Amino acid sequence: MKFFVDTANIDDIAELAATGLIDGVTTNPSLVAKAGRPFTEVIKEICDLVEGPVSAEVVATDYDGMISEGRKLAAIAENVAVKLPLTWDGLKACKTLTGEGTMVNVTLCFSANQALLAAKAGATFISPFIGRLDDINLDGMELISDIRQIYDNYLFDTEILAASIRTANHVKESALAGADVATMPPNVIKSLAAHPLTDKGLATFLADAEKAGIKV
């Protein structure tokens, strides 16, 4: 499973990239707005920090605008994945941009039929939003499983990028369901390694080593 970090915060990305465990970054207009810096400048800096795909979202909603903005974003760096919303204009733009060799991440996916359309449009990634479905008492993880089954039925190459992840359990369940990628906020990534029994066991090992005067 690939791990992408879902943020536009340069310091958080740099810290996690240094672990060697980050395979890409996803941003969206809300996350970029939080960064409080010029959009293309932030995306360029992120692309220099992380070799893997960096999702940068258009703000146009019409086909021509999406193509124009998508080409500008793709020109920032070769690892830019242009993020397009799951609308008819977004799907049409996806077909065009992927046809030009640009990576496309189709976002704001909330149904299996939407994901089916994105795969037919040649999307590189599809981003089903787990947390936002859970927020309205629907089953976000069921969507991941449904998409996995549909994509496997027809051998679609589009990668399932589990998004809107809020907890470590979302990551585990997404991995069990066969998502190709999980994108998550920095705090969720950091929580994956945490376990009280690990901390307790390490403390015991270190105390015993000190008592015995063990030196390496």
Catalytic residues: 83
Please tell me the distance from the alpha carbon of residue 135 to that of residue 118, in angstroms, as a whole number: 23
CB 59 within 8 A of CB 29: yes
Q: Please, where are the H alpha helices in 77-121?
A: 88-99, 112-120
Q: How many residues bind ligand G3P (CB under 6 A)?
A: 9
Smallest gap from residue 30 Cβ to ligand G3P (A)? 7
Is residue 132 part of the contact set for ligand G3P (CB under 6 A)?
yes
Please tell me the distance from the alpha carbon of residue 149 to that of residue 119, in angstroms, as a whole number: 13
Smallest gap from residue 27 Cβ to ligand G3P (A)? 7
Query: What mask of x and - would describe binding to ligand G3P in positions 133 to 172, judged by CB under 6 A?
Result: ------------------------------xx--------
CB 105 within 8 A of CB 82: yes
Query: What mask of x and - would describe binding to ligand G3P in positions 5 to 44, judged by CB under 6 A?
Result: -x-------------------x-x----------------
Considering beta carbons, is residue 70 or 128 the nearer one to ligand G3P? 128
| Structure letter (DSSP) for residue 111 | S
Identity of the amino acid at 4 = F
Smallest gap from residue 192 Cβ to ligand G3P (A)? 16
Distance between start and end Cα atoms, the chain: 35
Chain residues that interact with ligand G3P, rule: CB under 6 A:
6, 26, 28, 129, 131-132, 163-164, 183
